Amino acid sequence: MNIFILNAGRCGSTTFVQACQHISNYTAAHESRSTLTGKLRLSYPDNHIEADNRLCWILGRLEREYGNDAYYVHLTRDRRQSVESFVKRKEYGIMQAYREGILMGGQQQSATEIASDYLDTVACNISLFLKDKRHKMAFSLENAASDFVDFWHWIGAQGELDKALAEWRTRYNASV
């Protein structure tokens, strides 16, 4: 079984994967195939957990490849904190790509407006994708300790839950 952590980014996806490293019956990675194209892009091993915010742009392909055979987690974070984190990264990464590629320059909008629009777009894409999925879970960064225990049981994880929960006390990939 494959598990996909769908998210906008800046919401704890790196920490999520660090916590999953303590699961013995799944592999887990963060953006492990994000630079690949074609069939290789979505060729994940069986029993794998993948967190990659870029999946929200190829959900049609994810549907075709995995559909209802996979489990999906919609990972979110407090909106205000997400916007603030993206504003700190406005000149590179997904914010630059969204501003320049999707908004064709986005010169008239503030970084806050662009980050907010990006978050709305991704949330809508993910919600629409998940609307008819059998195996889906909402996961909030603010409730990570309890949500991760639910996730652990939901997927039948084996390993060291205490060590996995301890990972949520460390901030990975935090904005400067």
Query: Alpha-carbon distance 45 to 27, whole Å?
Result: 8
Closest CA to 20 of 153, 145, 165: 165
pLDDT recorded at residue 175: 67
pLDDT recorded at residue 106: 78
Residue 8 lies in a domain: yes
What domain range is 122 assigned to?
A: 3-167
Q: Which two tokens stand for residue 93?
A: 């990464």
pLDDT recorded at residue 172: 81
Residue 84 lies in a domain: yes
Residue 87 lies in a domain: yes
Cβ–Cβ under 8 Å, residues 76 and 7: yes
Return the CATH number at 45.
3.40.50.300
Residue 173 lies in a domain: no
Residue 176 lies in a domain: no
Total of domains in the chain: 1
What are the pLDDT tens digits along the chain (176 aa)? Answer: 999 999 999 999 999 999 999 999 999 999 999 999 999 999 999 999 999 999 999 999 999 999 999 999 999 999 999 999 999 999 999 999 999 999 998 788 999 999 999 999 999 999 999 999 999 999 999 999 999 999 999 999 999 999 999 999 998 877 64
Residue 111 lies in a domain: yes
- Rounded to a whole number of angstroms, the distance between the first and last alpha carbons of the chain is 36
Residue 175 lies in a domain: no
Residue 172 lies in a domain: no
